[in-house]
Amino acid sequence: MSLPKPASTPVSPSKSAALSRALDLVTRGYTRYITGTCPAHKAIGLAQKFHDKYGVGCSPAQRITRKQKGLANAALVVYWAGYAGSRAEPGLVSGTAPILVPDLSANQESTLTHQANTESALAASCNSSKKIPDSVPEVAWAVLVTEGTGPVTEQEALVSIFGHRRLFWLGYELVRLPKRGGSSWTWRRTKSEMAEWYALLGNQLAHRKQSAVAETLSLIAQQPGFAGVRGQSRELIQFARGRGYSGEVPFLFHMQKIGHGIALRLA
């Protein structure tokens, strides 16, 4: 008889991996959420607290048992740029296919995205009266929760993805779009970001800066290739074409199944 695996949760070193994990959880019934950020040096401690309180590192079998008892299951999604492992199990948590859609660099992302932070009871442990230097990196996290009762529903102000407040995380919003007679969840850029892309392309096209337009379209194509994002990218390419851009257009990759991150062991 094999010993049970220790509790763990993935830490995603790329936005593509973190967004893919969140989307996968939503499609499996994790339809309530809280989000926030934490200084990197406190992220492991916060993950442990989330597990102690809400069981974010529970095994599939434990989650089945909790569901049978009417308890809500919680899962933690962590985006930690450049994370290479700490108290971690080697290998990817799920999937090993390469990421075909590269993330934007940190500098490019900072000009195009905004972090959405929701107050959380446990997240308060990340705050300190001592000012954290600006150079200290931050980790973005999201806790997604299924239907049911328990501590996470009692202690956190959970928001439903079906409500008027869409899940906005890592600069993208979660939406449900029509697909083959039905609908499916996907990520897409916000209206404000799309307006910025249109304004940038419009200015470049008005001044006939073909090389600048090509560079902008290349950046657009490098953002995570979720269906919603790809559709918006095609619209931006068509906008450029319709206003005189005659250069090559970049290929828009589909998001492939990728690993969700490096397993962080939880006590």
Q: Are 155 and 49 in contact (CB under 8 A)?
A: no
Q: Which helix H or strand E contains 3, and what residues bound it?
A: none
- Return the C-alpha torsion angle 216, 170, 229, 161, nearest 10: -160
Confidence of residue 136 (pLDDT cuts 50, 70, 90): low
Q: How far apart are CA 187 and CA 185, in angstroms?
A: 7
> Which pLDDT does position 3 carry in this prediction?
59
Q: How far apart are CA 260 and CA 116, in angstroms?
A: 21
Q: Are 266 and 7 in contact (CB under 8 A)?
A: yes
Reported as a single tens digit per residue, the pLDDT across 15-61 is: 999 999 999 999 999 999 999 999 999 999 999 999 999 999 999 99
Local structure of 261: helix, strand or coil? coil
> Which pLDDT does position 134 carry in this prediction?
45
- Which one has a higher pLDDT value, 145 or 137? 145
> Which pLDDT does position 167 carry in this prediction?
94
* Measured distance between the N- and C-terminal CA atoms of the chain, rounded to whole angstroms: 22
Q: Which helix H or strand E contains 64, and what residues bound it?
A: helix 60-68
> Which pLDDT does position 86 carry in this prediction?
58
Q: For the packed helices 227-242 and 210-221, what is the interaxial angle rounded to 10 degrees?
A: 170
Reported as a single tens digit per residue, the pLDDT across 141-181 is: 999 999 999 999 999 999 999 988 889 999 999 999 988 88
| Residue 75 CB partners (closer than 8 Å, separation 6+) | 9, 25, 30, 56, 143, 144, 145
Token duo for residue 5: 């695996």
**Contacts for 245-252: CB closer than 8 Å, 24+ residues apart:** 245/205, 245/210, 245/213, 245/214, 245/217, 246/210, 247/210, 247/211, 247/213, 247/214, 248/214, 249/217, 250/217, 250/218, 250/220, 250/221, 251/221, 252/221, 252/225
Token duo for residue 12: 């995603």
Q: How far apart are CA 201 and CA 204, in angstroms?
A: 5
Decide if pLDDT at 126 tops 90: no
Decide if pLDDT at 85 tops 90: no
- Which one has a higher pLDDT value, 125 or 140? 140
Confidence of residue 121 (pLDDT cuts 50, 70, 90): very low
pTM of the model: 0.80
Token duo for residue 118: 């929701």
Q: Which of 102, 97, 61 is nearest to 257 (CA)?
A: 97
Decide if pLDDT at 258 tops 50: yes
Confidence of residue 259 (pLDDT cuts 50, 70, 90): confident
> Which pLDDT does position 84 carry in this prediction?
83
